[in-house]
Amino acid sequence: MRADLVAFFACLYYGALRPEEAVALRQSHLTLPSHGRGEMILTGACPRTAAAWTSNGRPHEPHGLKHRPTGTVRIVPIPPILVCLLRQHIREFGTALDGRLFLGTRGGLLSESVHGRVWHAARQAALGPALAATPLARRPYDLRHAAPSFWLNASGAPAEVAGPRGHQRARPGKRLCALRRRPGRCHQPADRRRSQRLLSHLAGTTTGDSKRFAEPPLPP
């Protein structure tokens, strides 16, 4: 297992980041106090695409945030548990020379195939054959649905959830309907516990260590 990717998956689970946003995350984007909530200021993403379609001839090319005008940022409040995991990650693994938190196998950009293989292995080990054969948290991206589902269940205010998650509030109809529909994959209590079990397994902790990966609080 890749212990250095625990915080990567935690960013998806607790911060509702897209994988390509977490790949582009740098230490300078973070406010990580020693106590309480922190903050991410997202400035871009590094999605994977065919090298023939990029301007740099590589499979990853920096882009602005999805659904946002070029040059804008997204501010994401993050719960204390994610603050702690990010502080621990930086302390134990450091960053790339450009400040990126999460690295590929040779120090380059973290690829979809690498974090996908790690996630697949964690699912098989933590969930067992029967649950691993279901759609539950099949892709790392599915973790992104979990935090908004918690916020929706608790607040009932989709418009307040859409902003931190990265959906435009100015177009509520389509975006918020999708927001209501998609969290259904992971929003049941049993599914939450299983998602937390996956993170615990990646971190090398016991499956009963539920407090370390507790549910995120509502965004302010």
Rounded to whole angstroms, the Cα distance separating 151 from 130 reads 29
pLDDT tens digits along 139-193? 898 888 777 766 666 555 566 565 555 555 445 455 545 555 554 444 455 566 6
What digits encode the pLDDT tens for the residues 46-66? Answer: 666 544 444 555 555 666 666
The whole-number pLDDT of residue 126 equals 86
pLDDT at 79: 86
In percent, the amount of the chain with pLDDT more than 90 equals: 27
CATH (domain of 153)? 1.10.443.10
Closest CA to 184 of 142, 214, 213: 142
Q: Which domain holds residue 65?
A: 3-49+60-203
For helices 6-15 and 80-93, give the axis angle rounded to 10 degrees: 160
Q: Give the list of residues 6+ apart from residue 44 with CB closer than 8 angstroms, or none.
A: 21, 24, 62, 63, 64, 65
* Residues 187 and 180 sit within 8 Å (Cβ to Cβ): no
DSSP 19-32: HHHHHT-BGGGEE-
Asked if residue 89 is part of any domain, the answer here is: yes
Structural domain includes residue 12: yes
Q: What is the pTM of this model?
A: 0.73
Percent of the chain whose pLDDT exceeds 70:
57
Q: How many domains does the chain have?
A: 1
- Number of neighbouring beta carbons within 10 Å of residue 141: 15
Question: What mean pLDDT, rounded, does the chain reach?
Answer: 75
- Asked, for residue 135, whether it belongs to a domain, the answer is yes
In a domain, 137, yes or no: yes
> Is 220 a member of any domain?
no
Asked whether residue 211 is domain-assigned, the answer is no
**94, 18, 141, 211 alpha-carbon torsion, rounded to 10°:** 60
**pLDDT surpasses 70 at 96:** yes
**Within a domain: residue 209?**
no
Confirm whether 143 is domain-assigned.
Answer: yes
